[in-house]
């Protein structure tokens, strides 16, 4: 079954706390992505991972970092979360790059108070 799983689905944190968002896929896809979605802005690309330990900044990487130690897992870390990082975060994977279909997780709704 082709699936991208995001945990947790909902998260409330206080400003300054650390946040870990996790994403897993069971398709052995090489490429994984983190996006955030805000009303009226569509999806903004935070990071791309080409494979294990091979990551690249997207369009809005400031305040975020990522980790990919296994092909099936891609984590997004917010060190000292800020209120403007309140958003819905989506993880996606593709077989290899932008030529292939992206498969999305259901999203994590993060509120930073």
Partner 1 sequence: TQTVSQSDAHVTVFEGDSVELRCNYSYGGSIYLSWYIQHHGHGLQFLLKYYSGNPVVQGVNGFEAEFSKSDSSFHLRKASVHWSDSAVYFCAVSGDYKVVFGSGTRLLVSP
Give me the residues that bind partner 1 (CB under 8 A), please.
4, 31, 33, 35, 40-43, 45, 48, 50, 56, 58-59, 90, 92, 94, 97-99, 101-107
CB of 14 to partner 1, least distance (A): 25
CB 19, min distance to partner 1, A:
19
Is cis: bond before 8, omega within 30 of 0? yes
Q: How far is the CB of 64 from partner 1 (least distance, A)?
A: 16
- Whichever of 64 and 90 has its CB closer to partner 1, that residue is 90
């Amino acid at each position: 079954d082709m699936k991208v799983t995001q945990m947790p689905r909902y998260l409330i944190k206080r400003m300054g706390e650390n946040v870990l968002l996790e994403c897993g896929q069971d398709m052995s896809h090489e490429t994984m992505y983190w996006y955030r979605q805000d009303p009226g802005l569509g999806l903004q690309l935070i990071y791309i991972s080409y494979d294990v330990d091979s990551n690249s900044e997207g369009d809005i990487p400031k305040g975020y970092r990522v980790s990919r130690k296994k092909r099936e897992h891609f984590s997004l870390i917010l060190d000292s979360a800020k209120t403007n990082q309140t958003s819905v975060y989506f993880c996606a994977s593709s077989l290899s790059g932008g030529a292939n279909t992206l498969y999305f997780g259901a999203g994590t709704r993060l509120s930073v108070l």
